[in-house]
Amino acid sequence: MADKVVADRYRLERRIATGGMAEVWAARDLELERPVALKLLGPEADPVRFTREAHAAAALSHPNVTQLFDYGAWEGRPYMVLELLPGGTLEDRLRDGRPLPDAETERIARDVAAGLAHAHNRGLVHRDLKPANVLFDADGRAKIADFGIARMGGAGTLTEAGTMLGTAAYISPEQAAGEPATAASDVYSFGVILFRMLTGRLPFEAKEPLDLVAMHRNVPPPPVATLRRDAPTQLARIADAALAKNPHARPPDGSALTAALGGPPPTTEAATAILPRPAAPTAVTGVTAPPRRPVRIRSERLAALLLGLLVAAGAGLAVAFLGHGSSSPTTSVSTTHRRTTHSTTTRSTSTQTSTSTSSTSTSTTRTTLTTTRPTTSRRTTTRSTTQPTSTTTAKPTIATTTTTVGTTTDTVPIP
């Protein structure tokens, strides 16, 4: 089949692996000009399981999970196109039966735990985690592959009654008992892989797969320290905890493994955020003091003021006319307002002329208008000027006249 072109796009170059379920080829994507891995369903394989694997791979996108590029059918055979990982498998590195270097073991453990955390956070359980399903890219990064028997949350299983799925050497006790697999089941399989990387051997060994299954179900695993005393303490503790028979006694999922290994927490894709529309720029202006209110004189007060001035002027003329011959004329004008006050001052000047028989007094009145700004206090201005005048004639008495207009009162006493 080499050099054949699948779906008019992928040219097969060489066969990588062959199994009962599928055959894997190194191929060339003729449209994107890149190397890929093409997995072609075997003639006798279950297409449901193959489709399940494609859907599981399409649901994941993580640096430690094999990436799915394409899915389709060619000549009646379903196929998947995956990223080509040229670094081989973890099984290849463990085949000689010796422990891996501790630094390499820790790095691989963190990569696998991160990939599991990503799958578990999306409700997907691998159910067949083993070294043959851990592949490496050109940079040595470990990636989980082959989700063929994976179970997604809420989906039915591919396990018939009494049938166990998963490789016997890495199967969890609950799977061995025919119970549903959970994220803790993947943690158990991770513990077997970590145990083998630290010690170079499996926790249980037997010639028959069914014997292995029974040992995983019933026999306690040996602690890592009994096989390798110089193993890193933290890695040994994680392996021992992951191999607990009771699922509730293990780290619950891949996120717990990542935290125990000191790796970063698993990342999740953030939902698309709708940013609010930016507000229109607001001009910053200086604080301006409110304009001063102009001094306003109400019309009724102005009328009262003018009337008061007229009365005062008339009174002054009356004083000048009637005060002829008086001895001590006194003029007092007082104007009082609330809030707005206008003061009117009447200054009276008397000129005296004396003779032996009569006395003539001439009084000249000058009126000055003074306007002040509005205040909140009362102001009363009364200026009185009195000049004595001597006379030898009788003084007529004239009654005091009082005139009140509005709120202005002018009083002119005339002797």
Query: For residue range 68-77, what is the model confidence (pLDDT) as tens digits?
Result: 999 999 998 9
3: annotated active-site residue: no
Query: For residue range 326-349, what is the model confidence (pLDDT) as tens digits?
Result: 444 444 334 444 443 344 433 433
Residues 307, 378, single domain; the answer is yes
Residues 131, 73, single domain; the answer is no
Residues 12, 35, single domain; the answer is yes
Q: Which domain holds residue 236?
A: 87-151+166-266
Helix (H) or strand (E) holding 282: none
Residues 238, 107, single domain; the answer is yes
pTM of the model: 0.62
Residue by residue, DSSP assigns 360-410 as EEEEEEEEEEEE----SS--------------SS-------EEEEETTEEE
Residues 242, 317, single domain; the answer is no
With respect to residue 283, please indicate whether it lies within any of the assigned structural domains: no
In angstroms, the Cα distances linking 389 to 28, 318, 328, 392, 396 are 137, 18, 6, 10, 14
Helix (H, G, I), strand (E, B) or coil at 305: helix
With respect to residue 284, please indicate whether it lies within any of the assigned structural domains: no
Residues 57, 93, single domain; the answer is no
Catalytic residue, chosen from 46, 102, 111, 128, is 128
Residue 54 pLDDT grade (very low, low, confident, very high; cuts 50, 70, 90): confident
Residue 321 pLDDT grade (very low, low, confident, very high; cuts 50, 70, 90): low
49-58, 357-366, 389-398: range with lowest mean pLDDT: 357-366
Residues 63, 122, single domain; the answer is no
Residues 188, 53, single domain; the answer is no
Q: How far apart are the C-alpha atoms of 30 and 35, rounded to whole Å? A: 9
Whether 319 has a pLDDT exceeding 80, the answer reads: no
Query: For residue range 197-237, what is the model confidence (pLDDT) as tens digits?
Result: 999 999 999 989 899 999 999 999 999 999 999 999 999 99
Count structural domains, the chain. 3
With respect to residue 55, please indicate whether it lies within any of the assigned structural domains: yes
